[in-house]
Amino acid sequence: MAQRSASIARTTKETDIRVELTLEGTGACAIDTGMGFADHMLTLMSFWAGFDLELSCKGDLEVDAHHSLEDIGLSLGQALAQALGDKAGIARVATAKVPMDEALAEVVVDLSGRPYLVYADELLPAQIAGQEKDVWREFFKSLAQRAGMNLHIRYEYGKNGHHLLEAAFKALGLALRQAVQVCRTGAPSTKGSVD
């Protein structure tokens, strides 16, 4: 099977982003977003997905993290869609639950080509690592949109915002690892197409 990989460059007045993604990797990554907490979360996702990921972002962090995280989600989602190609033979649907100390998060994905986000973040504190919690909703929304992914994230319980998000990113990685696996032939859909 040919290597499933993608290279994305996105430049706007707000951000300059480069992404190199390989699905059949070792979890090796080099991530520099200008935000240590975001680097940590993306590293966790990449490691647990088994993806090789190089990602850099120069963004207008003097404003806040919103534009950077939104555009990182768009770029990473585009890379995932490009690397998957026609999605022939993939498992497509997967779920994962991950604990992190007192916190538990569940992630369910369907690489259906139909983007949708359900994000139950009521348990997250208003601020995490100096940013409002809504920047993470924007990241996941952008990721789902560009990847063509139905993405459900539920924080089941927990108190620490770092722990809750860490559980979600690990679970996202594990779910993606399962969903991108080639385990059959043809389109993973009874209608014969994933779009």
CATH code at position 13: 3.30.230.40
Task: Show the domain range for 52.
Answer: 5-179
Q: What is the pLDDT of residue 3?
A: 82
pLDDT exceeds cutoff 60 at 14: yes
pLDDT class of 175 with cuts at 50, 70, 90 = very high
Residue 140's pLDDT is what?
98
Q: Is the predicted pLDDT of residue 163 greater than 70, yes or no?
A: yes
Domains contained in the chain, number: 1
State residue 184's pLDDT score: 78
Residues 6+ positions from 157 with CB-CB distance below 8 Å: 102, 103, 104, 123
Is 194 domain-assigned?
A: no
- Whether residue 110 lies inside any domain: the answer is yes
- pTM comes to 0.93
Structure tokens at 22: 């390989």
In-domain check, residue 193: no
User: Over the stretch 86-96, which tens digit does the pLDDT of each residue have?
Assistant: 999 999 999 99
- For the chain, the straight-line distance linking the first and the last C-alpha, in angstroms and rounded, comes to 22
